A and B are shown apart, each in its own frame.
Chain A
């Protein structure tokens, strides 16, 4: 049943499912897509977060304030990156439409990956806005020549974060508290992903956790790009590979938990 739609119709339907349905689901499932909720959540929260850590970093004085600005600007993509893919499944459960969605013959990978694309786009734009804020409040220097590389670093970081968000969403097939997991992950990232504390300052086991989490290598890559040193390419590649691995795991978990939930008739159980 899964994917029979794709086997029997042309590529246009798959493309529509990926782009049009993905975007519409994204718009429908998030109340924060209204301007009154979008700006405080997607722009407001990262703005106050960046200002707070720059202010705290300035007070602590262990690193230049630009260090905190860049870390938190890249972490800003986590709001869209973690919460939106997680809500793409949890939101269906809350709305009581998950059973109908999973009863369709559409291929799950196309359907859910299509929902991740708007999150990547919004996450990327949020980080870009926060980097611009970093220029204003923390004197972050953005050399024009290195902008394409910086864009690459922000994009892979956001993609990796969104892939992890989809994994959280997949877990949301069996728990109603996927949003709490996303929330906890977002806070944990502030500690272990090199956002505000260099990885080297953490104990070995936390460094391992940090390296396995999304975002860590992307942030390092962005800092390398801004410092003009070499090695950013390798870090971006590593972050991209992590994104692919998370995506693969998310799709497997989605499939397994969907089958399991069908078998036990608990898809819509709250």
Chain B
């Protein structure tokens, strides 16, 4: 086995084990589970009641998917944001940063785990909408939908991680992360299409990976064309986010280590 293969294998092992560990940790918290169960239902109900009586033609499936994606982003943001601060609180951030595994590698599983919980959020929203709002469960292309969903989950996780990278240096940055919940909803085109945004803002939506993920999910669900280009754009932007996060994490980690503030809360 050459060096590259060994590295890929060990990185995959770190990510998969970290993902499983974080999922277990999240599921140990009964209240987190209750929140994860109720929040998507709140979003779904809010969206359906707001659109009731509206002249807009969005079908219940589009409204439900939008609400599910809102829940998915909220869960990711909440989880990714708190993960690094939780490590700091448990006093394991310093040993983790000091170990030979890169900070990026041990941070990725946290973001992936919370984004995976987001899949549940989407599923719960669809079930809730079917049971209580008469939504027909008809996906035009289930296979493309599954691919689009997977790519969107990864894009949300990487966007969450990009924001969370600042937490290494600034413990209060989580307040800033909470700030991004509504703007990301707006720029992703959930509930309201991006085309109705002012033109300069639309350019911003174009560089947002989840925005393409939302397009891919909606198109694959409704049968509209152009799912694969949206999946491709979402994937490319996600890779770009991963690269930026890698650079930022290295820089922030060095700054926090040199100023001795890594463990400070």
Interface residues of A (CB under 8 A from B): 31-32, 34, 36-38, 40-41, 44-45, 48-49, 51-52, 55-57, 59-62, 94, 175, 177, 180-181, 183-184, 187-188, 190-191, 196-197, 201-202
Contact = CB atoms under 8 A, between A and B. Distances in A.
B254 interface: no
B54 A45 contact: no
Q: How many B residues touch the partner, as a band?
A: 35 or more
B78 interface: yes
Nearest to A181: B31
Contact of B32 (A41, A56, A60, A177): A177
Contact of A183 (B35, B49, B53, B265): B35
A36 B192 contact: no
Contact of A40 (B39, B78, B178): B178
B178 A41 contact: yes
Contacts, number: 95
A60 B51 CA distance: 6
Interface of B: 29, 31-32, 34-35, 38-39, 42-43, 45-46, 49-56, 78, 89, 170-172, 175-176, 178-179, 181-183, 185-186, 191-192, 196, 265
15 contacts: A34-B172, A37-B175, A38-B175, A40-B176, A44-B179, A45-B181, A51-B182, A52-B186, A55-B186, A55-B192, A59-B196, A60-B54, A62-B54, A177-B29, A197-B50
A188 B182 CA distance: 16
A48 B50 contact: no
Contacts of B179: 40-41, 44-45, 48
Chain A, interface SS category: helix
Given A37-B172, A191-B45, A201-B53, 9 more contacts: A31-B175, A40-B176, A41-B175, A60-B51, A61-B54, A175-B31, A180-B35, A181-B31, A187-B42
A94 B183 CA distance: 31
Contact of A187 (B39, B176, B185): B39
CB-based closest 4 A-B pairs: A177-B31, A37-B172, A48-B182, A37-B175
A62 B31 contact: no
Contact of B175 (A40, A56, A183, A184): A40
A45 B181 CA distance: 8
Given A59-B196, A62-B54, A45 B178 contact: yes
A44 B181 CA distance: 11
A220 B182 CA distance: 25
Nearest to B50: A60
A45 B49 CA distance: 23
Contact of A60 (B31, B35, B56): B56
B186 A94 contact: no
A186 to B, nearest CB: 10
B42 to A, nearest CB: 5
